[in-house]
Amino acid sequence: MTTAVFFDLDLTLLRYTADFETIFDRAVPDAPDGAYDRYLSVFFDAFENLAVDPYAVGFEAITGEFDIGDDPETLVARYAEAELAATTVPASAREALVRVADRRPTGILTNGAPAVQRAKLERHDLAGVVDAVVVSNDPAVASRKPDSGIFEAAETALPADDYVYVGDTYDEDVVGARDAGWEAYHVGDDGPGDDPAAVESVAEAAARILGEDDA
């Protein structure tokens, strides 16, 4: 029996060193009042509607509505670089991912824009560690957690008998995975504390998946 393991990316394997408003300010210095809130509103609408590049949709909106000197393409590129620069992968999470990937078929399953999510993996040398990458806003996937479609896409990308998911958001990650028939581990703090999925870290999830906690 083969068990495949998928990990969430943002706030599971990867951490941010700056919040999204700070990242926006780095990409759009001296932005007019209201530009960030408008960008965020348009971005998330596009994101939830599975736009391939919700960043472009957001920046196209604010350059059309506010006095911003740069074109949308420049802002998208600057924002992407600022976001990438504000990410880090803790050593313990990296080591856990590598340990699981050495012993199980392993993938990344994440909500996000495909180009940006894949760029994060490349930046932190994680792309070569995993066997599959499944991103919600990829047209070939077109499904966001907690919907079952993204988990079905992962099963197609990495065939196995059983599946395990490790994520930080209870309703999207744990409930979504369970609804798809997967086992789940929860590294966040937004769910019930007595849920058997709850773990303290990615490293603890990896230990449970590999049976190391019983050694």
Instruction: Reply yes or no on whether the pLDDT at 214 is more than 80.
Output: no
CATH class of 3-15+88-210: alpha beta
User: pLDDT-based confidence at 213, cuts 50/70/90?
Assistant: low
Q: To which H or E segment does residue 54 belong?
A: helix 54-65
Task: Give the H or E element holding residue 99.
Answer: helix 91-103
Q: Work out the percent of the chain whose per-residue pLDDT is above 90.
A: 94
According to the model, what pLDDT value does residue 31 have?
96
Residue 171 CB: number of other CB atoms within 10 A? 11
Amino acid at site 182 = W
Q: How confident is the model at residue 38 (pLDDT cuts 50, 70, 90)?
A: very high
181-201 per-position pLDDT tens digit: 999 999 998 988 789 899 999
Whether the Cβ atoms of residue 186 and residue 170 lie closer than 8 Å to each other: yes
Average pLDDT over residues 96-113: 98
Which range is least confidently modeled, 22-36, 97-111, 188-202?
188-202
Residue 80 is predicted with a pLDDT of: 97
Closest CA to 167 of 13, 4, 2, 50: 13
Instruction: Report the relative pairing of strands 162-167 and 132-135 from DSSP bridges.
Output: unpaired
- The pLDDT of 149-165, averaged and rounded, is 98
- The structure's pTM equals 0.96
Is beta strand 15-16 parallel, antiparallel or unpaired with respect to 87-88? antiparallel
Q: How far apart are CA 173 and CA 8, in angstroms?
A: 8
Work out the average pLDDT over 161-185. Answer: 97
Q: Are 12 and 166 in contact (CB under 8 A)?
A: yes
8 A C-beta contact, residue 86 and residue 23: yes
The domain segmentation of the chain, as residue ranges, is 3-15+88-210, 20-86
* Mean pLDDT on 58-69: 96
Q: Output the pLDDT for position 215.
A: 41
Give 81-95 pLDDT, tens digit per residue.
999 999 999 999 999
Task: Provide the mean pLDDT of the chain.
Answer: 96
Residue 61 has pLDDT above 80, yes or no: yes
Q: What are phi and psi of 111, to 5 degrees?
A: -75, 140
N-term to C-term CA, the chain: 21
Q: Please count the CA atoms within 13 angstroms of the CA of 163 that sit on its side-chain side.
A: 25
Q: Burial, 90: exposed, middle or buried (Cβ in 10 Å; 0-12, 13-18, 19+)? A: middle
Nearest residue to 5 (alpha-carbon basis) of 189, 158, 175? 158
